[in-house]
Amino acid sequence: MEKVLEVKNLRIYYELPQGIVRAVDGVDFEVYKGEILGIAGESGSGKSTLALAVAGLLRPPAKVVSGEVLFMGTNLLSLTEEELRRIRGKRISMIFQDPSTYLNPVYTSGFQVAEVYEAHRGGSWRRYVGDVVKLFRMVKIADPERRVNAYPHQMSGGMKQRVLISMAIAEKPELIIADEPTSALDVTIQAEIVELLNEIRKETGSAIIFITHDLALLLEIADRIMIMYAGKIAEIGRAEEIAKDPLHPYTKALLSSLQYERKKRLQAIPGSIPSLISPPPGCRFHPRCPLAFDICSKKDPQLYRVGGRVVSCFLYGGDHGGSA
Amino acid sequence: MESGEILRRVYEARRRRLREMWETLKSNRAAYVSLYVVGFLVFIAIFGPFLTPYNPYDFDLSRARQPPSFAHPFGTDELGRDILSRILEGARYTIGISIASVLLGVVIGVILGLASGYLGGLWDTVIQRIVDVMLAFPTVLLAIALVASLGQGVASLIIAIAISTFPVYARLVRGVVLQVVNEDYIAAARLLGKSKIYIMFKHVLPNSISPIVVQATYYMGLSILLASALGFLGLGVPPPTPEWGAMIGSGRTYLFSSPHIVVFPGVFIMISALSFNLLGDGLRDALDPKARALLRRG
């Protein structure tokens, strides 16, 4: 399958006065054409920083320390601002968490969508009004001819998210990054938006990176899932495999916290996510890991292949004598 | 629905929006009245000289310092000139100078403020240091120095006032821009592949406009006073031009014996400054779609 995106050994640090925050610390993964890659992790696990880096939107104090972000073979990190501008919105687009703040309050929604065409195809926005109405129909905005003239404050949160999605898919990008696109919406609207993204993927063939802390949601819609913990990858695998047979102790803990039974206590993971300024030595999960053994606190696990999957845990590889 | 029909609807919605703006402005009583007052002031600034009952420059010491009467509704000044005629004649100087100098100052200030706040880095440092230096000078002193070096006249007065007031706008705009730039929709615009200059003027500027409008209308009044102050010091429009501030300056000696010489131009200055301020207040609400919706609902 064709690789749309390949991230190699990416490290992004925030250089703060209190110290260096290793938000993303050596991450490798690929995204293939037309798939939904789900990225799950707790708050502060580095998933949003990763998304911004792929979109080329990192701002100081965030700094890429090492690595490559290859989009269709080109390293995005080596492009100039102007070259990036031509890719953004056209070949890579992004959907955000809180739709209400991502629309400019002084313009109508239709104008703001038409601007995407204006930016990449030239000419006046007037030429693209028809296309905008078509897009609005595609993202299932009721009464699209009227809605193109509506201001953001005249729309509901779900509708604004649809407008933002229509912006993101306007140029049929190869890659859409959705950073918690449903977290700010009602549960019923959430389901509709997820369904919509799935349809769009089928229609346009775009690959989608779907970032969320909601693992249950990912198990339903993602093709493959990447679990992040404290700036590192814990595990990558197909959604069914992760659901049925999680490898990493962290994934196991996450899954058991999902299984809800009446009259039984919620299975929380003991402890909390470590400081990224001074992470624990060795495997970053070892202080909370029920299966940790002596090497876990001494050495950093690599990504080990297990069948078609990747897991970063000494239970599955490494030179401590365990099986590889 | 075909594209032409949709576009027709877009234009219809735009007309509806303009109507809404108008309604919002109208619902603000003070602003609505001010609109007419400003309209009237602009009218006399243009047509005043054709409406003067007497020649505003003809003096007749036998009629000096007459109080208001039917023949001279606003009385006569220390040289026997008809004050009404002088006010009508002088409107174009006072109103014209304040509008032109504020416009010029706003344009310079907004461009520098935008560049400073949005482009940042070296732009910000250089522009803000210039602004710092200019703000360190007292406004009037700076204006005096500028007029002295540019020479007396309407044009140099406008330039002097504009240059001595633009740092205020530049500072104000920079502050607002620094806030707006961090809004998510600016990041979204960047992400959609729009150019920096486009985002600066099309997305950052419209969201920073309301404090600029308020400040500019406030400075309309202030620049009238600044022009008057310069006139008072003999650096304004050269006499015998009946610029309102200069009229007050020359009549101040008779403030107690013949107050009408000072009061009438003073009232006109006050009315202009006040109506520009109130109009600015109404405009700010009318231009903001959110405030518009709120006011219409309430």
**Closest CA–CA distance from residue A269 to any residue of chain B (Å):** 33
Q: Looking at residue A265, what is its pLDDT?
A: 64
How far is it, in rounded angstroms, from Cα B283 to Cα B277?
Answer: 10
Number of inter-chain CB pairs under 8 A, A vs B: 92
Q: What is the CATH number of the domain that holds A210?
A: 3.40.50.300
Q: Does the residue A193 lie in any domain?
A: yes
- Give the CATH architecture of domain B88-297: Orthogonal Bundle (1.10)
Q: Measured between beta carbons, which residues in chain B are less than 8 angstroms from residue A93?
A: 191-192
pLDDT in the model for residue B126? 94
Q: Over the stretch B181-209, which tens digit does the pLDDT of each residue have?
A: 888 888 888 877 788 888 888 889 988 88
Cα nearest neighbour of A119 on chain B: B194
Q: What is the DSSP letter of A284?
A: T
For chain B positions 162-201, those within 8 Å of chain A (CB to CB) are 183-185, 187-195, 198
This prediction has a pTM of 0.76
- Domain assignment present for residue A98? The answer is no
Judged by a CB distance cut-off of 8 A, whether residue B7 touches chain A is: yes
Q: Whole domain around residue A15: which residue ranges?
A: 3-91+171-311
Contact A106 B289 (CB under 8 A): yes
Between CA B228 and CA B140 the distance in angstroms is 11
Asked if the C-beta of B210 comes within 8 angstroms of chain A's C-beta atoms, the answer is no
Q: Is the pLDDT of residue B1 over 60?
A: no
- Number of compact structural domains in chain A: 1
Question: What confidence score (pLDDT) does residue B285 get?
Answer: 80
* pLDDT single digits (tens) A137-181: 888 888 888 888 888 888 888 888 889 888 888 888 889 998 888
Q: What is the pLDDT of residues B26-44, one digit of tens each?
A: 888 898 999 999 999 999 9
**CB-closest option in B187, B193, B290 to A119:** B193
In this prediction, what percent of chain A has a pLDDT beyond 70? 95
Provide the mean pLDDT of chain A. 82
A contact residues 96-125, partner B, Cβ 8 Å cutoff: 96, 98, 101-108, 110, 115-116, 119-120
User: Do residue A130 and residue B6 have CB atoms under 8 angstroms apart?
Assistant: yes
Residue A276 · residue A228 · CB < 8 Å: no
Q: B292 to chain A: which residues are within 8 Å by CB?
A: none
Q: What is the pLDDT of residue A179?
A: 87
Q: Is A62 helix (H, G, I), strand (E, B) or coil?
A: strand
What pLDDT was estimated at residue B127? 92
Residue B95 CA, distance from chain mean position: 8
Residue of higher predicted confidence among B110 and B12: B110
Does residue A107 fall inside a structural domain?
no
Q: Using one digit for the tens of pLDDT, what is the confidence trace for A107-147?
A: 888 899 888 888 888 878 888 888 888 888 888 888 888 88
Is A43 contained in some domain? yes
Mean pLDDT of A27-52: 85
Domain parsing of chain B, residue ranges: 88-297
Residue A263 predicted with pLDDT over 70: no
Assigned domain for A152 exists:
no
**Closest to B189 (Cα-Cα) out of A48, A112, A60:** A112
Q: What order of strands is seen across the sheet that includes strand A224-229? A: A92-95, A175-179, A207-212, A36-40, A224-229, A232-238, A309-311, A304-306
Are the beta carbons of B13 and A129 separated by less than 8 Å?
no
Does the beta-carbon distance from B6 to A126 stay under 8 Å? no
Look at residue A134 and tell me if it is in a domain. no
Structure confidence at residue A322 as a pLDDT band (50, 70, 90): very low
Q: What is the mean predicted confidence (pLDDT) over A231-235?
A: 84
**Could you read off the pLDDT of A277-292 as tens digits, one per residue?**
777 777 778 778 777 7
**First vs last C-alpha separation in chain B:** 36
Q: Which residue of A has its CA nearest to B194?
A: A119
Highest mean predicted confidence (pLDDT) among A12-21, A94-103, B76-85, B163-172: B163-172
CB contact under 8 Å between B192 and A89, yes or no, is: yes
What average pLDDT does the segment A227-256 reach?
82
Distance of CA A22 to the CA centre of its chain: 18
**From B1, B13, B193, residue closest to A89, measured CB to CB:** B193
Residue A230 zone, left/alpha/beta (φ > 0; ψ -120 to 50; rest): left
B40-73 pLDDT, tens digit each? 999 999 998 888 888 888 888 888 787 888 888 8
User: Does residue A126 sit within a domain?
Assistant: no
Q: What would the mean pLDDT of B158-182 be, rounded to a whole number?
A: 90
Tens-place pLDDT, residues B236-254: 787 788 888 888 888 888 8
Q: How confident is the model at residue B130 (pLDDT cuts 50, 70, 90)?
A: very high
